[in-house]
Amino acid sequence: MARLLKEMKATGTIQEKVKAYNDANREVAILCNHKRTVAAGHAGSIEKMQERINGLRYQLWRTQMMMIDVDPKIKKKKGAAYFERPEDLDIDWVKAHQEAEVEELRQKITKKFEKDNEKLAAEGEKEMKPKELQERLEKADELEAKYKKENKTGKVEAEGKGPSIDKLETAVDKLNQRIENMKVQMEDKEGNKEVALGTSKINYIDPRLTVVFSKKFDVPIERFFSKTLREK
């Protein structure tokens, strides 16, 4: 491990550096035959991560489309390809994703309403009537209507206070970074599915090497050791 860390030139984001460390740790674990059975829920976990990534990609595309609403000339400036929706996010996927978002919002609003009523009841106050819930749920209805309009017109209206190209480009950069971070996490998770990294990291690798890596590449030690292990 000492040799691997010495040769390492970890660059990029914190998540990419963590993956580089895990890659080196994986080599040690394989040499020490630290294998494990693939977790029963691994495939489902990877699928959920991919779905979250796709959700961010859809959000990214919508944000890019908002630029056209702010400045129609931007399409010619950036080129039509910049505003094309990813091919794998076809209209069937889009509609299913939109429906899931609307339903998630409905459930969130309903749970908040029920919790508020429970609090009122506990304090001896009068509970809110179902009409209040219906009014709150209008927010989900508005989201549903907005998505239907987008699907029909092929246009996305800019959101937020005082939307501008600069603000939207900043949002695009942040979304791209989140997508890349999640892709790295998913790749790391997939690579570690049959290897017990914890065994080698805790029992076979000198913790001082991990501390050196943490300081050298400016990665929080919390990313490698739990609070209990750090206190030891």
Which residues in the chain belong to E strands, given as ranges? none
Q: HSE-up of 21 (CA within 13 Å, CB side)?
A: 29
Q: pTM of the prediction?
A: 0.74
| 12: DSSP letter | S
DSSP reduced 3-state for 158: coil
Catalytic residue flag (residue 204): yes
pLDDT of residue 44 exceeding 70? yes
- What's the token pair of residue 27? 């080599």
pLDDT digits (tens, 9 = 90+) for 9-43: 666 788 888 888 777 777 766 766 666 677 788 88
Contact 57, 89 (CB under 8 A): yes
Mean pLDDT of 138-149: 98
Q: CA–CA separation, 14 vs 9, rounded Å? A: 13
Angle in degrees, 0-180, between the axes of helices 165-191 and 14-31, rounded to the nearest 10 = 10
DSSP reduced 3-state for 58: helix
Q: Poorest-confidence range of 151-155, 160-164, 200-204? A: 200-204
pLDDT of residue 147 exceeding 60? yes
Q: CA–CA separation, 165 vs 171, rounded Å? A: 10
pLDDT digits (tens, 9 = 90+) for 105-116: 999 999 999 999
By C-alpha distance, which of 69, 210, 84, 34 is closest to 149? Answer: 69
Mean pLDDT of 154-167: 95
- State the catalytic residue, choosing from 21, 82, 147, 204: 204
Domain that holds residue 70: 2-231
Mean pLDDT of 120-141: 96
Here the CATH number for the domain that contains residue 99 is 1.10.132.10
In this predicted structure, what is the pLDDT of residue 121? Answer: 94
pLDDT digits (tens, 9 = 90+) for 65-105: 999 999 999 999 999 999 999 999 999 999 999 999 999 99
Q: In the structure, how many helices (H) and strands (E) does the chain have?
A: 11, 0
Compute how many other C-beta atoms are within 10 angstroms of the C-beta atom of residue 193.
14
Mean pLDDT of 137-142: 97
In this predicted structure, what is the pLDDT of residue 214? Answer: 82
Residue of higher predicted confidence among 42 and 230: 42
Q: CA–CA separation, 206 vs 204, rounded Å? A: 7
Residue of higher predicted confidence among 49 and 12: 49
pLDDT digits (tens, 9 = 90+) for 171-197: 999 999 999 989 988 988 887 777 766
Angle made by CA atoms 205, 210, 216, in degrees to the nearest 5: 145
pLDDT of residue 202 exceeding 60? no
